[in-house]
Amino acid sequence: MDQKALKKLVESISNTVKTFKKNEIECLIRLFHSLVKATDKRLDNVGLDCNAFRGILYNVFGMTDDMLMNRVFFAFDKDKDNCINVKEWIKGLSVFLRGTFEEKLKFCFEVYYLNGDGYISREKIFDMLKNSLHQQSSEEEGDEGIKDLVDIALRKMDYDNDGKISFADFEKAVKEERLLLEVFGPCLPEAKKCLDFEALAFRHILSSSF
């Protein structure tokens, strides 16, 4: 691995991601590099596809919801090229591992409304709840129960009564009751999983290189 290219990449990322120290960024770059097994490519020209990233979410962060793992992938993939590059990897992890409440709030909202018009619609809420809830009753009865939950969610969060949840609605509801942050399904890893990941990723740090 070319040290000059690595140092340049660390400097570039550290200008936009303030959550990590430079030596931590270097560790995350090296980890990313090993995950994509791309030793013969440029550091900034490789990436994780959806399947590889889902494997990390499952094996490392304990996520199991297929729909939400896909949505988390696309939330990380800011340039929408169906591949998470090293900068997107570190930026996303900065929210996962050390994000402020406001950053996590914005991330969860983005996951929930993904590929839409900036609103969480009744239909999206139904799909997410149906996907995350394991119904013991028949499908028809289950759907009716989910529709009731959708109505409850809208009554709780749709402050302007337009039949959908805007970011302003979501932010106000979550700030009043923080348990609503992941109301439509878990899209952030548990705190212990984050600590375990950091212990693994940063275990070789002795001192900052730069």
Same domain, 107 and 176: yes
Length of the chain: 210
The pLDDT tens digits for 105-120 are 999 999 999 877 899 9
Same domain, 86 and 117: no
Q: What Cα–Cα distance (Å) separates residue 64 from each residue in 1, 15, 41, 91, 142?
A: 34, 33, 31, 22, 21
Q: Phi and psi at residue 149, in whole multiples of 5°?
A: -65, -35
Q: How high is the pLDDT of residue 115?
A: 74
In a domain, 208, yes or no: no
Please give the residue range of the domain that contains residue 73: 3-99+191-201
Q: What percent of the chain has pLDDT over 70?
A: 88
CATH number, domain of 136, equals 1.10.238.10
In a domain, 151, yes or no: yes
The pLDDT tens digits for 148-168 are 999 999 999 999 999 999 999
In a domain, 121, yes or no: yes
- In single-letter form, the type of residue at position 170 comes to F
Whole-model pTM?
A: 0.86
DSSP code, position 210: -
In a domain, 207, yes or no: no
